[in-house]
Amino acid sequence: MGLRSLYATYRRRRLYGRCRASDLGVVILRYHSVGQARDVEGYLDPGLSVSPERFRQQIRILAANFRFGKPDDLAARLAGEDDGKPLAVLTFDDGYRDNHDVAMPILLEEGAVAAFYITTGPLARGRGLWISEIWRLTRTMPPGKIDLPPEDLRFMNGDSSGRYSYRRRLTRWMSRITEETREHALDYLASRAGIPRGEGLGASFVTPDQIRAMHSAGMTIGAHTVSHPHLDHLAPEHHGRELADSKQALEDILGNEVRHFAYPNPGGGGSILPEAVASVRAAGFQTAVTSTPSPMTPDADLLRLPRVGVYRGPQEKTLFGVLARGMA
């Protein structure tokens, strides 16, 4: 391991230690997927997934050091109205089907709960999330000139590093545009790749029946917008549909109020600006979680709560090593 990697690990360990030792005793974890790499690589970067075996180990580490909570418990903790014991809140973003098929059975077997934040657009289209389409298209699309507006997206190298870099840039751009513009861009990229839109991706996403089953099993269902944009980079006049429509779609499925929200963070970046927070408040959500990894403090904003991401490989080993030992 080089000096740069050692320093990155040191910084992560210090950050995770501060989160573990926060005054509130709360750690909110952010997952996307649970599955074997070979099973998820058709619709998701395997680095965003953890194996079922590791997930079960992680749940047991948390059970030995925390009690499991839900988003509803966070307001009580901030108000000093609960027992104050260390609290772990598990969250999943996007709505991949392995959340229902793989993660939920493990949670139930281990006596744990989680919150699942669902992007609702794919429920109607049946072809998965646009991020899954990008993951598939950039792996198979012929390299060379590409006719997209941003200058840094007009050429893709064909080697693995070139495709990876292009995918990151493409994801950032698509997170900042309207759904209509994104759909046109995906139509063009699919045509260039010679692959029908969403082919084979319908089974990668949860169904309404599975959402109802997760809710009936005691899991929290929250909203994650309609089309998974980065709200910081989307004009506020488009926030209302993304938030209100996703909330309503889930309430129609569940027959219950949906009170919780997770800000999408495709491609990273953004600090959750006041305009986005105001839109989330106006939509009627009671809590909202971010992708910002930091300790949860007594003055935390319920509509801008920090979370620590969990990723396959050395990062999750470092994180759970800290959570198991409570070391700073």
70-85 residue pLDDT tens: 999 999 999 988 888 9
- With cut-offs at 50, 70 and 90, classify the pLDDT of residue 268: confident
pLDDT in tens, 276-294: 999 999 999 999 999 999 9
The pLDDT value recorded for residue 138 is: 94
Measured CA angle at 161 (ends 157, 164), to 5 deg = 90
Half-sphere exposure of 154 (CA within 13 A, CB side): 4
Q: Tell me the one-letter amino acid at 100.
A: H
- What is the value of pTM for the model shown? 0.96
Average model confidence (pLDDT) across the chain: 94
- Dihedral Cα 198, 200, 201, 202, nearest 10 deg: 100
pLDDT in tens, 216-267: 999 999 999 999 999 999 999 999 999 999 999 999 999 999 999 999 998 7
Q: What value does the mean pLDDT take over residues 21-41?
A: 96
pLDDT in tens, 142-159: 999 999 999 999 999 999
The pLDDT value recorded for residue 326 is: 57
Burial class (CB in 10 A: 0-12, 13-18, 19+), 124: exposed
The backbone torsions φ and ψ at residue 186, rounded to the nearest 5 degrees and listed phi first, read -70, -35
The backbone torsions φ and ψ at residue 48, rounded to the nearest 5 degrees and listed phi first, read -90, 0
- Residue 31 tokens read as 């997952």
Longest dimension (CA), the chain: 59
Rounded CA separation 301/296 (Å): 9
pLDDT in tens, 96-116: 999 999 999 999 999 999 999
Task: Please report, for residues 31, 78, 82, 287, 328, the alpha-carbon distance to residue 300 in angstroms, rounded to integers and kept in the order given.
Answer: 21, 8, 16, 11, 21
The pLDDT value recorded for residue 257 is: 98
Measured CA angle at 65 (ends 8, 91), to 5 deg = 65
The pLDDT value recorded for residue 277 is: 97
- Locate the domains of the chain by residue range: 3-125+201-273+290-325, 130-193
pLDDT in tens, 52-70: 999 999 999 999 999 999 9
What CATH number labels 3-125+201-273+290-325?
A: 3.20.20.370
- With cut-offs at 50, 70 and 90, classify the pLDDT of residue 5: confident
- Contacts with 88 (C-beta within 8 Å, 6 or more apart), sequence order: 26, 27, 28, 29, 62, 65, 66, 67, 68, 69
The backbone torsions φ and ψ at residue 28, rounded to the nearest 5 degrees and listed phi first, read -110, 120
Rounded CA separation 86/65 (Å): 7
Rounded CA separation 305/301 (Å): 6
Half-sphere exposure of 171 (CA within 13 A, CB side): 25
Query: Per-residue pLDDT for 327 more than 60?
Result: no
The answer to whether 13 touches 21, Cβ cutoff 8 Å, is no
